[in-house]
Amino acid sequence: MPRSYVAEARRKKVAPKKERVRPVIERLAVAHADAAIALTFSNPLELLISVMLSAQTTDVNVNRVTEKLFVKYRQPEDYLAVPIEELQQDIFQTGFYRQKAKSLRGAMQRIIEEHDGQVPEAFDELLKLPGVARKTANVVSAERGSPQGIVVDTHVRRLSQRLSFTRQEDPVKIERDLVQLVPREDWARFPHLLIWHGRRICDARRPRCEECPLALDLCPASRI
């Protein structure tokens, strides 16, 4: 099980989470005005594929692979027109390439057969695509302007625990807490703000609290 950060939220007494969530979002929005998805894509199909490939690897690595991939594969049919071994080789650098190739082909097949070659917009239909779990569906929906939940990755999990927005460990339960707390109009940008803050300031091992805009009065895990 991943390391828990729940206990760190006992370091400092702060206001209740319902009073803090809006100021947290506002301050992080100023500190990370450029916070956005790091994957490179130009249409819903490329978005879906990029997110599917991003499992267990970095966005930088995915972008390096998709730069060539999206030139070769432009339509769902293209992923089915080559031997699976060739597709595996094309996505090899993203890791878990056998399972990812299988999922990609399964998703493309369903998109062709049931959605006229278009990535479905309905959240429930996204979840029916092979290889698409809730996190992937959340990312795709949010980036298309219709968030149905809040993306929970390792950074969102860590910061949500440190901010005492949740005491849960499971991503599904963490998301359940967050959607009840975060205003719906902020569901899409909230995870980006936490992800970028986690990468730049709130490091897992050595958070730079002295540089954090939340440290003085909004973060119960602050070491200041």
Task: State the SS3 of 62-87.
Answer: HHHHHHHHHHHCCCHHHHHCCCHHHH
3-class secondary-structure state, position 110: helix
User: Is residue 90 among the annotated active site residues?
Assistant: no
Active site residue: 59, 78, 153, 177, which one?
153
How far is the CA of 76 from the CAs of 7, 45, 55, 58, 105, in angstroms? 46, 8, 20, 24, 8
The two structure tokens encoding residue 181: 């707390």
Is 18 a known active-site residue? no
Alpha-carbon gap, residue 24 to 162, rounded angstroms:
12
Of the candidates 142, 127, 134, the residue with the CA atom closest to the CA atom of residue 35:
142
Residues making up the chain, counted from first to last = 224
Determine contact, residues 153/55, Cβ cutoff 8 Å: no
Q: Which residues are catalytic?
A: 135, 153
